[in-house]
């Protein structure tokens, strides 16, 4: 709640004139062109944090505006609607999740090559799955990573068109898991059907958003170890 939402006009005009000009007021525009992008991104970050903490419906656009020092109508200069802001948060989340996932798989490839042929195919798949899981935990639980949790838990607030826009990114993200799980099933490390395995595994990871507490308990590496131990068999 900002003072500007009060039903009466504050009578501090003359008083504020005694303060240094613009000390805490609207930021002066240096480097005009980049400013808009910065403010837009500040809105995105604040929205992600608030949507995660309180939920989409329980967060008002006034809350978001106040979090970045704007007035109540100003977010609509940057985003057409509250819905559009939510979608932008989710798209940003999927973009960074896909980037982190790609990096993880490249790392796994490099790790296998470094062991120079001495690594059997099954072991390479194990490393790939480990890195996929670790990257996923990072995306969900890493510091400041509020975007994907918002996507997971506020999906219902999107309309059909918006869901379609996200679906492509989500399919791409989930598709990366399938060949890895297929290889692990072929080598006997995974016994359940691949499709259901992927759904159950991703569910187990996604639910960690509900209970993980970074201040106490396990680290993300320990979480990854536990997940690997839970889902995979010793090779036969």
Partner DNA sequence: CCTACCGATCGGTAGG
- Lookup: tokens for 160: 């059909």
Q: Which does 113 bind (CB under 5 to 8 A by kind): a second copy, DNA, none?
A: none
Q: Which residue in 45, 67, 72, 100 binds DNA (CB under 7 A)?
A: 72
Residue 221 makes contact with a second copy by CB under 8 A: no
Q: Minimum distance between the CB of residue 82 and DNA, rounded to whole angstroms?
A: 3
Residue 54 makes contact with DNA by CB under 7 A: no
Residue 9 makes contact with DNA by CB under 7 A: yes
Q: Which does 55 bind (CB under 5 to 8 A by kind): DNA, a second copy, none?
A: a second copy
Q: Minimum distance between the CB of residue 56 and DNA, rounded to whole angstroms?
A: 8
Q: How far apart are CA 168 and CA 227, in angstroms?
A: 27
Question: Would you say how long the chain is, in residues?
Answer: 236
Other CB atoms within 10 Å distance of the CB of residue 211:
7
Residue 77 makes contact with DNA by CB under 7 A: yes
The nearer residue to a second copy, 115 or 226, going by C-beta atoms, is: 226
Q: Which does 156 bind (CB under 5 to 8 A by kind): DNA, a second copy, none?
A: a second copy
| Segment lying near a second copy (by CB under 8 A), choices 11-19, 67-75, 97-105, 203-211 | 203-211
Q: Which residue in 27, 37, 55, 120 binds a second copy (CB under 8 A)?
A: 55
Residue 45 makes contact with DNA by CB under 7 A: no
Q: Which residue in 22, 24, 28, 80 binds DNA (CB under 7 A)?
A: 80
Residue 191 makes contact with a second copy by CB under 8 A: yes
The nearer residue to DNA, 35 or 174, going by C-beta atoms, is: 35
Size of the site for a second copy (CB under 8 A): 38
């Amino acid at each position: 709640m900002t003072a500007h939402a009060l039903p009466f006009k504050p009578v501090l005009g003359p008083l504020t004139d005694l303060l240094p000009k613009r000390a805490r007021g609207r930021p002066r525009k240096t480097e005009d062109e980049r400013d808009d992008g910065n403010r837009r991104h500040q809105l995105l970050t604040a929205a992600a944090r608030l949507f995660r903490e309180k939920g989409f419906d329980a967060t008002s656009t006034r809350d978001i505006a106040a979090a970045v020092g704007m007035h109540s109508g100003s977010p609509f200069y940057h985003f057409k609607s509250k819905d559009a802001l939510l979608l932008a948060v989710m798209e940003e989340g999927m973009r960074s999740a896909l980037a982190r996932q790609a990096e993880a798989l490249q790392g796994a490839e490099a790790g296998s090559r470094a062991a120079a042929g001495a690594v059997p195919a099954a072991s390479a798949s194990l490393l790939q799955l480990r890195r996929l899981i670790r990257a996923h935990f990072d995306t969900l639980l890493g510091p400041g990573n509020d975007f994907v949790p918002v996507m997971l838990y506020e999906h219902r607030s999107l309309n059909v068109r918006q869901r379609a826009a996200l679906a492509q990114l989500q399919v791409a993200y989930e598709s990366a898991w399938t060949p890895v799980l297929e290889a692990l099933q072929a080598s006997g490390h995974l016994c359940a059907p691949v499709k259901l395995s992927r759904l159950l595994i991703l569910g187990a990871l996604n639910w960690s958003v509900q209970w993980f507490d970074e201040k106490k308990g396990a680290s993300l590496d320990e979480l990854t170890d536990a997940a690997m131990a839970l889902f995979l068999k010793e090779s036969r």
